[in-house]
Amino acid sequence: MSRAIHLERLKKMLQQVTPASNLEVAVSGLESLEMPDQFHQAAVDAMRRLNSTESVRNDTLNLDQQNTLESIVLPKLRPVVNIIGDTFSPPPTPWEFIGSAEVKRRIDKVIPSIGRVELPGHPSIPYGGTGFVVGPQLLMTNRHVAQIFSKGLGQKNIVFMPGLSAAIDFKREVIGTTPELLSVVKVVMIHPYWDMALLEVSGLSAAHAVLPISVRSPEELAERDIVVIGYPAQDWRNDQNLQNQIFGGIFNVKRLQPGKLKSIRQVESFGHNVKAMTHDASTLGGNSGSAVIDVLTGEVVALHFAGLYLDANFGVPTYELARDNRVVQAGVNFIGNVEAASDWSAFWRITDQGQEGATVNTKPSILSQPVEPIHLQVDNKINLTIPLQISISLGSPTQATGRPMETDSARPSVAENLQLDAFGAESVISQSAVQAYEKFDWASFSSSEFSWKAVLSAGVLSHLAYEPDQIVVATARERFGLEACEFLATDATECFVVADQDTLAVAFRGTADLRDWLGNLNAFSTRASFGSLHRGFYFAFQAVKSSLENIIHGIGLNNRKLLLTGHSLGGALATVAAAEWSSVFDIRSVYTFGQPRVCRSDSANHIEQNVGSAFFRLVNDDDIVTRVPPGYQHVGKMFRFGPTGIVSNESLAGSLVASEAQPLTENQFAALQASLRYPSVVEPLENVGLEGFLPSFSDHNLSNYFTKILKQED
């Protein structure tokens, strides 16, 4: 976001949250806010200067004035209130009326029925968002929260992903509480249009009462005072000082956030332009699935799902859900009735048809901006077998812009999209991946010598690169306790940079759809300053090179050395990075897993001469990706796992001598691609010398690498 746009948004937000839309008039309202004198005067001066400028420019406010308004005024006007013992602390001015006896009694009734959606056993994130009780044993949350641990759409055939589960904890307050987990036993509904899901919870008692769900229209509710109750999590991509001021440096616990309802606004959500209810409470990621409560009635009026920094926050209007007979019949406790609508009938019909014998594809595309729920892009294709396979498109994806403050889980975890099948795509969370995350050891990167601890830890970073940006950052900072983490994405490439102690690591994301990627992989080359190499891999790295260098310099190398890693396509990008940066950065080591061939002889010689002794390439048995594309070669020291996990490498004492699997010939590669593109019309693979070939696809799965790495000992 440019600074001029940032200031323009700040001006509009201040006009929105202050008692008067004219900032000059609103200046007098600052006198009622409790703040140190020096800040008070600075805020007054900044507001007057901002208000006097019709066209906001970069120099309208200096950084100190901007920071004063954001860090002093906004936290006062849209505060965050602690919840302790199922009640809330007295709110500050101008929200003290919420603490009056009548209003407080109304809101206190709601608090015990709002909980944190826990993810027991998930290797990288402890919880997915917020949920609240809407019917007998029935919990409402966001679709994008439910899709962290389940797959499916509609009301049929929704299942938990293997190895994952979910629960609800109604405590998790600022003062430590003992977890009280109630299991989610079933995903009742994942709405095909709205960012909403219904979960069946076992053991809900009268202590967690069913909340009243409003049927009032958004137009009727505009400008009502509301509170959002949920579990905000820190967003490392936005101003940390501001977040710490608003949230008191406390995150991941139940909080109350007051604000006002605003007008309806169309936003992108799961490929649809939805009419969302907006509000201006201070929310962050983790608030996904929060209840938006009307202070006047105590009714839930919206399901919070996303937000844009200094712009607006968005919720699914409960009025719209009440107009969907399927939601009503599921048992949601709507207070009253409204006329049913057919607005979503087409989406339900397509979903139902898909469940009867087709595959519903809700995999989002990779965007160049950090992705939020309202920006989620999907393929929107339903494959119907009738008996011909027809692809029905519901609209082309578009790229959203803007930098949201929220980190609500926009793009679902990679585990949702990539299912383990005969073609070896990255699996759902496996036990080997869970064990690998538990054994992650950053200190193993301190040496350029090969070690299995470093292999395992580099594999974890390569695995983490498949996750959404907010999970990457949260895992690196909160679970692993690392000093810095920055995520970077373009249309072609995704990666992240993480640093601590004496090492800075760059992990590149691999390909999500191995079948599609192999089917379209070409063998064209290009020439760089260091030699010839695969054109696609080279330009995919060029798409992020300058931005990566800026991030690396921004974090600061100091005495740190660089580690590069990646799985599949990510390994190819790490190889190109090693070639490009061998004379720019001090590269300590490179670890790749199941990478394709990248180099011609001259570029291979360049890497071997400059990085070769610290380049370690892991290959699992007959991993297909390591044998393509034809005409290229590998670099570095290969460590190849046999079927039982025995490692062959000439540098390991007592091991077998490493033997490189032969690359596919051009004819074999062409036959393979044809079989992937047109499986029903090409000749059998065995006719072109590929009999017994398909099992090697599953060898590419990174979880299968973990299984064998975990058997090794340093």
Q: Name residue 525's amino acid.
A: S
pLDDT tens-digit readout, 2-14: 556 666 666 666 6
- Among the listed residues 416, 311, 330, 322, the one whose alpha carbon sits nearest the alpha carbon of residue 16: 311
Q: Are 384 and 354 in contact (CB under 8 A)?
A: yes
pLDDT at residue 203 tops 50? yes
Residue recorded with tokens 């200031």:
7
| Cα 225 from Cα 262, distance rounded (Å) | 10
Which pLDDT band, with edges at 50, 70 and 90, does 286 fall under? Answer: low
| Cα 5 from Cα 3, distance rounded (Å) | 5
What pLDDT, on a 0 to 100 scale, did the predictor assign at position 60?
A: 63
Q: How many other CB atoms sit within 10 Å of the CB of residue 647?
A: 20
Count Cβ neighbours within 10 Å for each residue of 110-130 and write b for 16 or more, e otherwise: bbbbbbbbbbeebbbbebbbb
- In degrees rounded to 5, what are phi and psi of residue 708? -85, -35
What is the percent of the chain where pLDDT is above 90?
43
pLDDT at residue 714 tops 80? no
pLDDT tens-digit readout, 341-399: 888 888 898 788 765 543 333 333 222 222 233 222 333 333 322 222 222 223 333 33
80 SS3 class = coil
pLDDT tens-digit readout, 555-598: 888 889 999 999 999 999 999 999 999 999 999 999 999 999 99
Three-class secondary structure assignment of 360-389 = EECCECCCCCCCCHHHCCECCEEEEECCCE
What pLDDT, on a 0 to 100 scale, did the predictor assign at position 679?
A: 57
519 CB-contact burial (10 Å; exposed 0-12 / middle 13-18 / buried 19+): middle
| Cα 270 from Cα 264, distance rounded (Å) | 18
pLDDT at residue 199 tops 90? yes
What is the percent of the chain where pLDDT is above 70?
71
Q: How many other CB atoms sit within 10 Å of the CB of residue 295?
A: 18
Dihedral sign from CA coordinates of 641, 647, 649, 650? negative
Q: Find the range with the poorest average confidence among 20-34, 240-254, 346-360.
A: 20-34
| Cα 594 from Cα 699, distance rounded (Å) | 9
- In degrees rounded to 5, what are phi and psi of residue 378? -130, 160
Q: Are 439 and 571 in contact (CB under 8 A)?
A: no
pLDDT tens-digit readout, 511-535: 877 877 887 788 889 999 999 999 9
What pLDDT, on a 0 to 100 scale, did the predictor assign at position 27?
A: 44
pLDDT tens-digit readout, 292-305: 999 999 999 999 98
Residue recorded with tokens 């070690």:
451
The answer to whether the 110-201 and 430-659+696-709 domains have the same CATH topology is no
420 SS3 class = coil
pLDDT tens-digit readout, 48-90: 666 666 666 666 666 555 555 544 445 556 688 889 999 998 8
Give the class (CATH, top level) of 430-659+696-709.
Answer: alpha beta
| Cα 67 from Cα 622, distance rounded (Å) | 56
Residue 446 or 403, more confident:
446
- In degrees rounded to 5, what are phi and psi of residue 384? -110, 125
What pLDDT, on a 0 to 100 scale, did the predictor assign at position 302?
A: 96
- The CATH-assigned architecture of domain 81-107+212-329 is Beta Barrel (2.40)
pTM confidence score = 0.51
452 SS3 class = helix
Residues 486-496 have a mean pLDDT of 89
| Cα 20 from Cα 24, distance rounded (Å) | 9
| Cα 471 from Cα 116, distance rounded (Å) | 17
Please, which residues bridge with residue 160 across strands?
150
Which pLDDT band, with edges at 50, 70 and 90, does 311 fall under? Answer: low
pLDDT tens-digit readout, 627-675: 999 999 999 999 999 888 888 887 666 666 667 788 888 878 887 777 7
Q: Are 364 and 376 in contact (CB under 8 A)?
A: yes
Chain mean position to CA 482: 19
Chain mean position to CA 653: 42
> What interhelical angle do 569-581 and 601-610 show, nearest 10?
70
Cα diameter, the chain? 84
Q: How far lies 377's CA from each of 197, 272, 590, 712, in Å?
A: 18, 9, 33, 41
pLDDT at residue 19 tops 60? no
| Cα 551 from Cα 626, distance rounded (Å) | 30
What pLDDT, on a 0 to 100 scale, did the predictor assign at position 131?
A: 96
| Cα 131 from Cα 140, distance rounded (Å) | 5
**Side-chain half-sphere exposure of 368, counting CA atoms within 13 A:** 10
Q: Are 93 and 34 in contact (CB under 8 A)?
A: yes
pLDDT tens-digit readout, 424-481: 333 345 678 888 999 999 999 999 999 999 999 999 999 999 988 888 988 898 889 8
Residue 466 structure tokens: 């498949």
Ordered by start, the domain boundaries in the chain are 3-77, 81-107+212-329, 110-201, 430-659+696-709
432 SS3 class = helix
pLDDT tens-digit readout, 88-121: 988 887 788 999 999 999 999 999 999 999 998 7
Q: Are 304 and 289 in contact (CB under 8 A)?
A: yes
What pLDDT, on a 0 to 100 scale, did the predictor assign at position 567?
A: 96
Q: Name residue 156's amino acid.
A: K
Residues 325-334 have a mean pLDDT of 96
Q: What is the DSSP string of 540-599?
A: HHHHHHHHHHHHHHHH--TT-EEEEEEETHHHHHHHHHHHHHTTTS-EEEEEEESPPP-B
Q: How many other CB atoms sit within 10 Å of the CB of residue 677?
A: 14
What pLDDT, on a 0 to 100 scale, did the predictor assign at position 263?
A: 85
| Cα 494 from Cα 510, distance rounded (Å) | 8
Residue 542 or 61, more confident:
542
Residue 588 structure tokens: 């300590």
What pLDDT, on a 0 to 100 scale, did the predictor assign at position 40?
A: 55
Q: Are 174 and 81 in contact (CB under 8 A)?
A: no
59 CB-near residues (< 8 Å, 6+ apart) = none
pLDDT at residue 402 tops 70? no
Q: What is the mean pLDDT of the chain?
A: 78
| Cα 609 from Cα 531, distance rounded (Å) | 13
- The CATH-assigned architecture of domain 110-201 is Beta Barrel (2.40)
pLDDT at residue 338 tops 80? yes
291 CB-near residues (< 8 Å, 6+ apart) = 110, 114, 130, 132, 211, 228, 229, 230, 300, 303, 304
